[in-house]
A and B are shown apart, each in its own frame.
Chain A
Amino acid sequence: MYTTILEPKMVKDEKSTVTETPETKTKIHVENLNLFYGEKQALFDVSIDIKEKEVTALIGPSGCGKSTFLRTLNRMNDLIEGVKISGKIIIDDENIYESNDVIKLRTKVGMVFQKPNLFPMSIYDNVAYGPRMQGIKNKAILNEIVENSLRGAAIWDEVQDRLKSSALGLSGGQQQRVCIARAIAMKPDVILMDEPTSALDPISTLKIEELIAAMKKDYTIVIVTHNMQQAARVSDKTAFFLNGEIIEFDETSKIFSMPSDQRTEDYVTGRFG
């Protein structure tokens, strides 16, 4: 494991280490990350340590590179032609841009998108999609994964009677929770969320925020959000992005109460142009 802070006493027993000292481990270490879309630079020397089993919020005005940064963490930017990346991203001791196993990376680092993007198939098939792609065929195992994942995303009660019906018949908020279930089904360590509630009504948003709070004990969560209150409600740490740079990264409470940078203060108090 990559660590920045001295390991506490129970180094050997990973689980108890985590429960007793949840802030010690760095899950994702980013160092001097630069990203170019062709000639245009979108990220400038981004460095950040994201801790295991915490919720890290990324805030900032639109177009400042939050999504771009988030997508570097599971290499989704690889899909875009002409993207150049330099710097280091280390997840669990491995530089993800040196390894060629993108599939392994993406099973470890799951993603939930801005708009629910369930496939036009049944709820069951959506959730079983990832495990099936991993080669799991056993019906009993798949059933169990699907049920556990849907429970984990707090949507099981609402969909258990209609697992075989089309996922696209669900409401937007339900769809987004099934998207979360679909990500959970891969048993990832990290879940990336790019403005997961921006397309949802307030009640669905609240449900997802509650879900995020509950998921924190099992997953490292990185969430992009436009909504300042949301960042304040759900996250432990907050990074403020501006024009492709991280201006400030700190405890969420500190970012919102006494930020050290004037620009951060302007943004979180809504005085930003």
Chain B
Amino acid sequence: MSTLPVKREKSNKRKYFMEKLSGKVFLFCALLSVISLLLIIGFVFFKGSKPFIGEGYSIVDFLFGNDWVPSENQFGIFPMIVASIYATIGALIIGVPVGLFTAIFLAEIAPKSIAKIISPAVQLLAGIPSVLYGVFGLAVIVPFLQNQLGLIKGQSLIAVILVLAIMMLPTVVTVAETAIRAVPKSYREGSLALGASQIGTIFKVVVPSAKSGIMTAVVLGMGRAIGETMAVILVAGNSLIIPTSLTDSIRPLTTNIALEMGYAFGTHQEMLFATGIVLFSFILLLNFVLARISSKGGN
């Protein structure tokens, strides 16, 4: 009888040790992502703020300057900010309605058998590497625009918008579909029992009830559009002008960084980091909006 308690103590010791160890492992993993985040932010901000702190460049000239000529130490990114905003808004104007209608169709209208084919297809769209979207845009959309609109150069704002609209679809569709499916069945029944049609029910009860989820879908889609780099490089055309028409060739913020970082050094390189700060600020703003939406949705 006397050996039993000892044994038990031993195995308990091991348990406590494992318990402590696994606690540490979990903590380490959790910290890893926070540390990475802080390192990236710190690095980008450190490098990107140098020209304005140590070298006497003006932030206003940087944000609102029209000329980006690194060889002459001119670093104005205003055209790129405008290009990024236009491209994102344009992509939203096309991508959100298409994505929302797809989500409604999948969640509310399509028979199960059809939804079972379309849903995975849409999700697969999310898994396609972005460079392939760019290649598709370059090989199909750009020549199409060139021929249809008689452009000299098909790489343009509208090409970027189309590619980004397709790219944001999976995000918008999946998130909106989930939100729509989460609307209680009793709302639909209540509406239909009041003699509302199915379409009436969808637009008057289901979609308004899923509002916060749908807004989340829009904001996430927006994040996807504003941060996209690879696909955009291939179809944007890369002109440093403020776009005044859909057919103008553009250079958004992401493209600027990706195209020049490889060979830039000194102030030029730091200005590219500063471009990154601007981009990051947009993303941060979106996350803030997202947090607001989801906290409202919780109420």
Chain A residues within an 8 Å CB radius of B56: none
Q: Which of B195, B200, B208 contacts A121 (CB 8 A)?
A: B208
Verify if A120 is at the interface (C-beta below 8 Å from B). Answer: yes
Whether B190 lies near A117 (C-beta < 8 A) is: yes
- Those of B95-141 within 8 Å (CB) of chain A: 111-112
Chain A: minimal CB distance from B297 (Å): 11
Whether A117 lies near B205 (C-beta < 8 A) is: no
- Those of B205-242 within 8 Å (CB) of chain A: 205, 208-209
Q: List the one stretch of A3-11, A74-82, A235-243, A244-252 in contact with chain B.
A: A74-82
Whether A76 lies near B194 (C-beta < 8 A) is: no
Verify if A106 is at the interface (C-beta below 8 Å from B). Answer: yes
Closest to A126 in B: B190
> In the docked arrangement, what's the CA distance between A101 and B205, Å?
21
Whether B195 lies near A130 (C-beta < 8 A) is: yes
Q: Which of A81, A110, A115 contacts B194 (CB 8 A)?
A: A110
> In the docked arrangement, what's the CA distance between A120 and B296, Å?
14
Closest to A81 in B: B112
Verify if A119 is at the interface (C-beta below 8 Å from B). Answer: yes
> In the docked arrangement, what's the CA distance between A113 and B184, Å?
13
Chain B: minimal CB distance from A22 (Å): 26
Chain A residues within an 8 Å CB radius of B188: 79
Verify if A182 is at the interface (C-beta below 8 Å from B). Answer: yes
Verify if A104 is at the interface (C-beta below 8 Å from B). Answer: yes
- Those of A87-124 within 8 Å (CB) of chain B: 103-104, 106-107, 110-111, 113, 115, 117-121
Given A119-B205, A121-B208, A133-B200, check contact A103 B190 (CB 8 Å): no
Whether B204 lies near A106 (C-beta < 8 A) is: no
Chain A: minimal CB distance from B24 (Å): 45
Closest to A107 in B: B195
> In the docked arrangement, what's the CA distance between A21 and B179, Å?
52
Q: Which of A76, A118, A119, A182 contacts B192 (CB 8 A)?
A: A76
Chain B residues within an 8 Å CB radius of A79: 188-189, 192
In this complex, the member of A107, A111, A133, A183 whose beta carbon has the largest number of chain B beta carbons within 10 angstroms is: A133
Whether A106 lies near B208 (C-beta < 8 A) is: no
Chain A: minimal CB distance from B26 (Å): 38
Question: A residues engaging B (CB < 8 A)?
Answer: 74, 76, 79, 81, 103-104, 106-107, 110-111, 113, 115, 117-121, 129-130, 133-134, 179, 182-183, 186
Closest to A179 in B: B190
Chain A residues within an 8 Å CB radius of B25: none
Verify if B4 is at the interface (C-beta below 8 Å from A). Answer: no
Whether B193 lies near A120 (C-beta < 8 A) is: no
Chain A residues within an 8 Å CB radius of B205: 119
Whether A186 lies near B209 (C-beta < 8 A) is: no
Q: Would you list the 6 A-B pairs with minimal beta carbon distance, nearest first?
A: A117-B186, A107-B195, A130-B194, A111-B193, A106-B195, A117-B190
Chain B: minimal CB distance from A110 (Å): 7
In this complex, the member of B112, B186, B188 whose beta carbon has the largest number of chain A beta carbons within 10 angstroms is: B186
Question: B residues engaging A (CB < 8 A)?
Answer: 111-112, 184, 186-197, 200, 204-205, 208-209
CB pairs A–B below 8 angstroms (7 shown): A76-B193, A79-B192, A106-B192, A117-B190, A134-B195, A182-B194, A183-B194
**9 other A-B residue contacts (CB within 8 Å) besides A118-B190, A129-B196, A183-B194:** A74-B193, A76-B193, A106-B193, A113-B190, A117-B190, A119-B205, A133-B204, A182-B190, A183-B193
> In the docked arrangement, what's the CA distance between A232 and B44, Å?
76
Chain A residues within an 8 Å CB radius of B184: 117
> In the docked arrangement, what's the CA distance between A118 and B186, Å?
9
Whether B196 lies near A120 (C-beta < 8 A) is: no
Chain B: minimal CB distance from A145 (Å): 13
Chain B: minimal CB distance from A42 (Å): 18
Q: Which of A110, A115, A119 contacts B209 (CB 8 A)?
A: A119
Whether A117 lies near B192 (C-beta < 8 A) is: no
Chain B: minimal CB distance from A168 (Å): 11
Chain A residues within an 8 Å CB radius of B192: 76, 79, 106
> In the docked arrangement, what's the CA distance between A232 and B208, Å?
41
> In the docked arrangement, what's the CA distance between A195 and B187, Å?
17
Whether A119 lies near B190 (C-beta < 8 A) is: yes
Closest to A111 in B: B193
> In the docked arrangement, what's the CA distance between A103 and B195, Å?
5
Chain A residues within an 8 Å CB radius of B112: 81
Whether A119 lies near B187 (C-beta < 8 A) is: yes
Q: Which of A113, A118, A120, A186 contacts B195 (CB 8 A)?
A: A186
> In the docked arrangement, what's the CA distance between A16 and B184, Å?
44
Chain B residues within an 8 Å CB radius of A81: 111-112
> In the docked arrangement, what's the CA distance between A118 and B184, Å?
11
Chain A: minimal CB distance from B296 (Å): 12
Whether A133 lies near B196 (C-beta < 8 A) is: yes
Chain B residues within an 8 Å CB radius of A118: 190
